Copies of this chain bind each other. A is one copy, B any other.
Amino acid sequence: MRHKDEKKNQAIFDSTIQLINEVGFSDLSMSKIAKRANLSPATIYTYYENKEDLLVKLYLDVKEKLSRSMLHGIHEELDTKEICYIFMKNSLEFMMENKDWFLFLEQFTASPFMNKLCMADTAPMFENLYRYFERGISNGSLKNAKAELIISYCYFPIVQLAKEYYEGMYTTIEKEFELIFSLSWDAISQ
């Protein structure tokens, strides 16, 4: 579905994410989205089939943005530790710069909307990431565990750090990041 007016689509996108973070899924409505986007409710339906379609497409869109950011600057030549470091750094930066997007992902992920998705929808986005870590596992620089587990030791502490950042601790982020990286590396490295 291609539409001339990408601005309108963007307005729907932004308004929805803002509203979800302000009022939550329980108080989100198509007319509120429309009002904030300065559109008629009917207009949203020329871009999306229905509310669920909107939310799912939004999720996939933002999730892909995240996955792309995570891998920025990573390539085959780097060693596992470097990759791990950059991956964690990228993740943190995405969360710090796109608070609304990230918190939307968190809400969506925790919700039963997730059941509407199948693995095939998101797995490809993280294929490369898994490949990098699996290489580390097989070459012995990482512990012998599932890549998913290894990655989660890198990812979740960053989520925590980002949430601290949202609550106002701006100053010590850099130092905290280095600490977290060292803990995560101790956890996963052979």
- Total contacting residues, chain A, CB less than 8 A: 31
- Name the B residues within 8 Å of A16 (CB-CB): none
Contact yes or no, B152 A24, CB < 8 A:
no
Give chain B nearest CB distance to A77 CB in angstroms.
Answer: 27
Would you give 7 A-B contacts (Cβ < 8 Å), ordered by A? A22-B112, A107-B111, A110-B111, A148-B160, A149-B157, A149-B160, A156-B160
- Which are the 10 A-B pairs with shortest beta-carbon distances? A187-B187, A25-B26, A156-B156, A110-B110, A24-B112, A183-B187, A107-B110, A106-B110, A24-B111, A25-B25
Q: For the complex, is A90 an interface residue (Cβ under 8 Å from B)?
A: no
The interface of chain A, by Cβ under 8 A from chain B, is 21-26, 28, 103, 106-107, 109-113, 143, 145, 148-149, 152-153, 156-157, 160, 179-180, 183-184, 186-188
Contact residue among B23, B28, B186 (Cβ-Cβ distance under 8 Å from A186):
B186
- Name the B residues within 8 Å of A157 (CB-CB): 149, 152-153, 156
Q: How many angstroms between the C-alpha atoms of A9 and B112 in the bound complex?
A: 25
Known: A21-B112, A103-B110, A149-B160. 11 other contacts (CB 8 A): A22-B112, A24-B112, A26-B111, A26-B113, A106-B110, A148-B160, A149-B179, A149-B180, A149-B183, A153-B187, A156-B160
Q: How many angstroms between the C-alpha atoms of A179 and B179 in the bound complex?
A: 23
Q: How many angstroms between the C-alpha atoms of A143 and B21 in the bound complex?
A: 35
Q: Which of A23, A28, A103, A111 is packed against the most chain B CB atoms within 10 Å? A: A111
Q: How many angstroms between the C-alpha atoms of A134 and B73 in the bound complex?
A: 38
Q: How many angstroms between the C-alpha atoms of A109 and B157 in the bound complex?
A: 16
- Name the B residues within 8 Å of A183 (CB-CB): 143, 145, 149, 153, 187-188
Q: How many angstroms between the C-alpha atoms of A183 and B190 in the bound complex?
A: 10
Q: How many angstroms between the C-alpha atoms of A160 and B149 in the bound complex?
A: 8
